[in-house]
Amino acid sequence: MSADRDFDVVVIGAGLGGLECAFILASEGKKVVVLEQNSQLGGSLQVFSRNKRLFDTGVHYLGGLAPGQNLHRYFSYFGIMDKLKLHRMDPDGFDRISFDGDPTDYPIAQGYENFVQQLLPHFPREERALRRYIADIRDTCDRFPLYYLRYAEHNELEDPALLINARDHIASLTQDVKLRAVLGGNNVLHGGRGDRTPFYMHALVLNTYIESAWRCVDGGVAIAKHLAQQARAQGATILNRKRVVALETDGKGACRAHFGW
Ligand SMILES: Cc1cc2nc3c(=O)[nH]c(=O)nc-3n(C[C@H](O)[C@H](O)[C@H](O)COP(=O)(O)OP(=O)(O)OC[C@H]3O[C@@H](n4cnc5c(N)ncnc54)[C@H](O)[C@@H]3O)c2cc1C
């Protein structure tokens, strides 16, 4: 890099991904530097405040943080699980889907059975569809071993059945147009497009929240703060206000990163 210090690895960006990479590589004995262009670390975990209230810019709730669930296992590995102040969201409706001209809020609940039970009063004839939806979500996630931190050699995305889009899959479960909209209502969270986003992506996102849904009491930036501390404890160097503007390579693997504004 231009400050003429040598590292084995330069990580560009101190978002969730960059900080996790830094932690892992530093724990494996690599000399790591993270260069972050902003003054605040965290990328989409950053927060801002207005009138003494904290607002998340990106990550505002998390799934899978109960013991044994996937994010709990990841965050335990990174040594931050017991450092986060978490608030469990309403078990009977961590999200509520609403429509113009319809006074009902349709709850998206935590727990597979509870998910069905909370929507059933609104769609009394659709129990079969609701149960199939949950079964499909679970089956789909089960086909992604890494999602559950299980080792596997196969590439699940080679299965064309997994590429069916979310809208068609949900439509295949029920003729009820409103239920279709409720089940697909969360897709806006991850910028999902009904005709393009595959059902598996919808399933992987939704499943974590159905397993359990949480808010960080001190905002998502707490994750970045504690991750950065843990990465530094492993020996990583993390520098803010360093925007990487150019990378130079000798063609053999060695690389210089130039930062500036
Ligand atoms: C609006 C929004 C809402 C979201 N809500 C949720 C949610 O509620 N729950 C959830 O689980 N997920 C949510 N997500 C997804 C989640 O935020 C991301 O999956 C995750 O934070 C991405 O982390 P990242 O490290 O890949 O990228 P980022 O967080 O984007 O981090 C990239 C970092 O790289 C830095 N960078 C980029 N270029 C350079 C450069 N040239 N030099 C130096 N630094 C550079 C950036 O400043 C940034 O800090 C949301 C995402 C968005 C955008």
Domain-located, residue 79: no
CATH number, domain with residue 50: 3.50.50.60
Q: Do 19 and 228 touch, CB atoms closer than 8 A?
A: yes
Averaged confidence pLDDT in the chain: 93
Tell me if 258 CB under 6 Å of ligand 1.
Answer: no
Report for 1-10, 16-25, 150-159, 179-188: range of highest mean pLDDT: 16-25
- Ligand 1 pocket test, pick from 16, 21, 44, 56 with the greatest ligand atom count within 8 Å of Cβ, gives 44
pLDDT at residue number 189: 82
Tell me if 37 CB under 6 Å of ligand 1.
Answer: yes
Same domain, 141 and 231: no
224: enclosing H helix or E strand: helix 221-233
Same domain, 112 and 127: yes
Tell me if 220 CB under 6 Å of ligand 1.
Answer: no
Calculate how far, in angstroms, residue 119's C-alpha sits from the geometric centre of ligand 1: 32
pLDDT grade for 1, boundaries at 50, 70 and 90: very low
Calculate how far, in angstroms, residue 62's C-alpha sits from the geometric centre of ligand 1: 14
Three-class DSSP category at 15: strand
| Ligand 1 atom showing the smallest separation from residue 35 Cα | 43
Packing angle of the helix pair 16-27, 221-233 (nearest 10 deg): 20
Calculate how far, in angstroms, residue 18's C-alpha sits from the geometric centre of ligand 1: 9
Same domain, 210 and 224: no
Q: Is the pLDDT of residue 4 over 70?
A: no
Same domain, 170 and 104: yes
Residues of the domain holding 180: 86-214
Same domain, 39 and 92: no
Domain-located, residue 135: yes
pLDDT grade for 20, boundaries at 50, 70 and 90: very high
DSSP codes of every residue in 66-115? STTSHHHHHHHHTT-GGG--EEEPPTT-SEEEEETTEEEEEEE-SSHHHH
Over residues 184-213, mean pLDDT: 91
Of residues 251 and 133, which shows the higher confidence score? Answer: 133
Q: Total structural domains in the chain?
A: 2
Q: What are phi and psi of 221, to 5 degrees?
A: -65, -20
Tell me if 240 CB under 6 Å of ligand 1.
Answer: no
Same domain, 240 and 224: yes
Domain-located, residue 199: yes
Label residues 12-32 b or e (16+ Cβ within 10 Å = b). bbbbbebbbbbbbbbbeebeb
pLDDT grade for 3, boundaries at 50, 70 and 90: low
- Which of 1-10, 155-164, 251-260 has the lowest average pLDDT? 1-10
Domain-located, residue 80: no
Domain-located, residue 67: no
Domain-located, residue 233: yes
Calculate how far, in angstroms, residue 15's C-alpha sits from the geometric centre of ligand 1: 5
Among the candidates 214, 233, 250, a domain finishes at 214
Same domain, 206 and 252: no
Calculate how far, in angstroms, residue 209's C-alpha sits from the geometric centre of ligand 1: 19
pLDDT grade for 153, boundaries at 50, 70 and 90: confident
pLDDT at residue number 2: 47
Same domain, 179 and 225: no
Over residues 161-179, mean pLDDT: 94
Over residues 115-138, mean pLDDT: 98
Same domain, 254 and 191: no
Same domain, 143 and 203: yes
